[in-house]
């Protein structure tokens, strides 16, 4: 089981500023059976509303510095956080997540970058 945490601002297409991760990428990850959600500095309720607005049911929403709690909640074999800043990288590493910069994620083909 792979768990992917997406930052929102600068990472997701609906972030502010918009990033390059589209909804198709997230849907594809769900199709592959991945656990998915967001870890952002935005308030939890706001993150939930954004996902709801875009028609995606996520497994979790989290504050960025609470990634360790996500790891505790969801047993998985791989934990990955995708974000656009060194803060994302910092908190991902602290939590024992792998980290990818959003610019390292090619297009809407998550299968191509996860494996
Ligand atoms: Mg960001």
- What confidence score (pLDDT) does residue 66 get? 98
Residue 60 vs residues 48, 70, 100, 114: alpha-carbon distances, Å? 9, 8, 19, 19
pTM of the model: 0.93
Alpha carbon of 16 to ligand 1 centroid (Å): 8
Q: Which are the contacts of 49, defined by CB distance < 8 A and separation ≥ 6?
A: none
Question: Span 57-62, mean pLDDT?
Answer: 98
Is CATH 3.40.50.1000 correct for 2-82+100-109? Answer: yes
Of 53, 6, 49, the C-alpha closest to 26 is 6
| pLDDT cut 90: percent of the chain above it | 81
In angstroms, what is the span from residue 66 Cα to ligand 1's centroid?
15
* pLDDT of res. 107: 61
Ligand 1 midpoint to CA 103 (Å): 12
Is residue 79 classed as helix, strand or coil in its secondary structure? strand
Distance of CA 82 from the midpoint of ligand 1 (Å):
9
pLDDT, tens digit (0-9, with 9 covering 90-100), for 67-97: 999 999 999 999 999 999 999 999 999 999 9
CA of 71 to the centre of ligand 1 (A): 20
Domain ranges within the chain, ordered by starting residue: 2-82+100-109
């Amino acid at each position: 089981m792979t768990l992917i945490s997406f930052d929102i601002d600068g990472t997701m297409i609906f972030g502010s500023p918009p990033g390059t991760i589209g909804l198709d990428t997230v849907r594809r990850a769900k199709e592959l059976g991945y656990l998915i959600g967001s870890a952002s500095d935005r308030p939890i309720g706001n993150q939930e509303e954004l996902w709801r607005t875009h028609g995606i049911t996520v497994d979790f929403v989290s504050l960025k510095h609470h990634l360790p709690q996500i790891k505790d909640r969801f047993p998985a074999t791989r934990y990955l956080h995708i974000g656009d800043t060194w803060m994302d990288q910092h908190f991902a590493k602290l939590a024992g997540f792998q980290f990818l910069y959003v610019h390292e994620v090619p297009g809407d083909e998550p299968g191509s970058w996860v494996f």
